[in-house]
Amino acid sequence: MDLAAWPRVPLAHLPTPLEPMPRLGRSMGGGASVWVKRDDATGLAGGGNKTRKLEYLAAQAQAAGADWLVTTGGVQSNHARQTAAAAARLGMGCDLVLTRAVPDRDTAYEATGNIQLDQLLGAWVHIHPAGTDRTEAMDAVAATRRGEGHTPFVIPTGGSTETGSLGYVRAALELVNQAAERDLRLDAVIAPASSGGTLAGLLVGMQALNHSARVIGIDVEADATTTRRTVAGLAASTAYELGVTPPAAERLHIEGAYAGPAYGIPTEATLAAARRGARTEGLVLDPVYSAKAMAGLLDLVETGTLTGSETAVFLHTGGLPGLFAYPEAGP
């Protein structure tokens, strides 16, 4: 595998820290060895997992002669915020097509957190109703920019393309190296799964290294069947792009029990996991992604699916700004 052959714009603070979570581990009983890979600390305008994908996507945009990034997500999209910051850093314009993907939120939801940062970062924000065809809406915005003489580059939801996923192939290499430096056996990596690029990249990276660590995705979409299909498809196309063997179907684990009723709706278990991360390790998790993944990790250890003798790494994917749109997540 020759990852260096793909152009990459450095945007993230790398390597992100790999830290033990001894107090959280003890609270689970059984002496579980749990670590956290701090991709919330990638550093770009609040950080998060999208920055690694954007290192490759922005390079692809530049290679295509683009001077403008167009992307999409929910109103509190962390991906949109990191894209707006990448565009600012690279002197590009940015349009964000945001859909009201989560029903019944209050007015603060559309004023604070990620959307506040999008506007501060100078992006053009377009809010659309739930159910809007995001691809069509982005194409319309891109056509307008083209009419103005710009060269837009359209990035789909979550930056989850073969190119974006390369960021997490690279992250897998980084993690395996860090574990080796510490003589840490790496048995499992747990991460939230939504648009799928993070999990697909991790899977392809582990496979390419012939590493046996289980990569476990916690579905946050409340549709594990679709998430599984998305991740499988993206892992296959990312492996093809890299010229490596695609991960076998049995390597793909998607846990569907922790998403709650819908995307963006935290359950009591989500909020409890957020409090536990915060109060044992000072780790701030968000109610849409990372706290659902933490609820999954806690349950998988406490029910013995991950045994106490295994070493599990929790990938903290970020999302802190979105927390402020959920004032109920705290007390």
Ligand X SMILES: *Cc1c(COP(=O)(O)O)cnc(C)c1O
Stretch binding ligand X (CB under 6 A), from 5-13, 175-183, 250-258, 315-323: 315-323
Stretch binding ligand X (CB under 6 A), from 8-16, 20-28, 42-50, 182-190: 42-50
Task: Verify binding: residue 114, ligand X, rule CB under 6 A.
Answer: no
Cβ neighbours for 281, distance < 8 A, ≥ 6 positions apart: 21, 23, 24, 36
**Shorter beta-carbon distance to ligand X: residue 198 or 270:** 198
Which one of residues 193, 206, 218, 291 is an interface residue with ligand X (CB under 6 A)?
193
Query: How far apart are the C-alpha atoms of 253 and 238, rounded to whole Å?
Result: 18
Across the beta sheet with 214-219, what order do the strands follow? 18-20, 33-38, 311-316, 188-193, 214-219, 252-255
Task: Verify binding: residue 48, ligand X, rule CB under 6 A.
Answer: yes
Which one of residues 76, 78, 207, 270 is an interface residue with ligand X (CB under 6 A)?
78
**Shorter beta-carbon distance to ligand X: residue 71 or 78:** 78
Q: What DSSP string describes 51-90? A: HHHHHHHHHHHHHTT-SEEEEEEETT-HHHHHHHHHHHHT
Stretch binding ligand X (CB under 6 A), from 99-107, 142-150, 186-194, 238-246: 186-194
Task: Enter the DSSP assignment of 131.
Answer: T
Helix (H) or strand (E) holding 94: strand 93-99
Which one of residues 298, 318, 325, 329 is an interface residue with ligand X (CB under 6 A)?
318
Helices (H) and strands (E) in the chain, counts: 11, 10
Chain centroid to Cα 48, Å, comes to: 7
- At its nearest, how many Å lie between ligand X and the CB of residue 151? 26
Catalytic option among 77, 165, 194, 290: 77
Task: Verify binding: residue 79, ligand X, rule CB under 6 A.
Answer: yes
- At its nearest, how many Å lie between ligand X and the CB of residue 288? 7
The token pair that represents 311 in the structure block: 């070493």
Task: Verify binding: residue 195, ligand X, rule CB under 6 A.
Answer: yes
Secondary structure percentages of the chain, helix, strand, coil, to 5:
45, 15, 40
Cβ density class 242-252: b for 16+ within 10 Å, e for less: bebebbeeebb
| Straight-line distance from the first to the last Cα atom of the chain, in angstroms, rounded to the nearest whole number | 47
Which one of residues 35, 56, 68, 289 is an interface residue with ligand X (CB under 6 A)?
289
Chain centroid to Cα 325, Å, comes to: 18
**Shorter beta-carbon distance to ligand X: residue 269 or 285:** 285
Is residue 237 annotated as a catalytic residue, yes or no? no
Which one of residues 33, 49, 60, 72 is an interface residue with ligand X (CB under 6 A)?
49
Cβ neighbours for 20, distance < 8 A, ≥ 6 positions apart: 33, 34, 35
Task: Verify binding: residue 196, ligand X, rule CB under 6 A.
Answer: yes
Task: Verify binding: residue 290, ligand X, rule CB under 6 A.
Answer: yes
Task: Verify binding: residue 46, ligand X, rule CB under 6 A.
Answer: no
- Binding to ligand X (CB under 6 A) within 120-159 occurs at 158
Which residues bind to ligand X, rule: CB under 6 A? 48-50, 78-79, 158, 160, 192-199, 286, 289-290, 317-319
Annotated catalytic residues are 77
